[in-house]
Amino acid sequence: MSDGVYVGKAGADGMRNQGWLLGHFMPDGDLLHSDEVEVKWGVHPPGDRRKTWATQETRTALLVLIRGTFHIELRDRTVVLREPGDYVVWGPGQDHSWEARDSETVVLTVRWPSVPGWRIPPAFNQPAN
């Protein structure tokens, strides 16, 4: 990384930080550290869901489906991403949750800005019963 270039594998690199590849939570001075944006490679087994709603959101998010089927639950509707490339964008103030129901699902999430101290503990995601 000393030359200003980082080459990696999203799945392997993301395993070290709950799927997050880029954001404020990476070490200061690291090329992957950013206060402007966060990027996540999310791999979700069937039945994986967020245990609680994300509320008081101050960021904008873009979620792109890579593989599988992904349900984004918003307070007034559920958006179902079915085809690779389907995506949804939501802005500040949009409470949300999510679920990967039928098959292993891979999504790419981009959030901005990257807000220090804002993080969901891993226990907040769990398989559905």
| pLDDT (tens digit per residue) in 113-123 | 998 865 554 44
DSSP state of 17: G
Q: Is residue 26 part of a domain?
A: yes
> What is the pairing mode between strands 70-74 and 96-100?
antiparallel
Which CATH number do you get for residue 73?
A: 2.60.120.10
Each residue's pLDDT expressed in tens, for the chain with a length of 129 residues: 468 999 999 989 888 888 899 999 888 889 999 999 999 999 999 999 999 999 988 999 999 999 999 999 999 999 999 999 999 999 999 999 999 998 999 999 999 999 886 555 444 444 444
Residue 51 domain-assigned? Answer: yes
- Rounded to whole angstroms, how far apart are CA atoms 83 and 6? 30
Asked whether residue 21 is domain-assigned, the answer is yes
Whether 109 is in a domain gets the answer yes
Nearest to 40 by CA among 120, 121, 108: 108
**Rounded Cα–Cα distance for residues 118 and 122 (Å):** 13
Query: What is the rounded distance in angstroms from the CA atom of residue 95 to the CA atom of residue 97?
Result: 7
| Residue-range definition of the domain harbouring residue 28 | 10-116
With contact defined as beta carbons under 8 Å apart, do 87 and 62 qualify?
A: yes
Q: How many domains does the chain have?
A: 1
27 in a structural domain: yes
pTM score, whole prediction: 0.85
Give domain status of residue 72, yes or no: yes
User: Are 23 and 30 spatial neighbours (Cβ–Cβ below 8 Å)?
Assistant: no
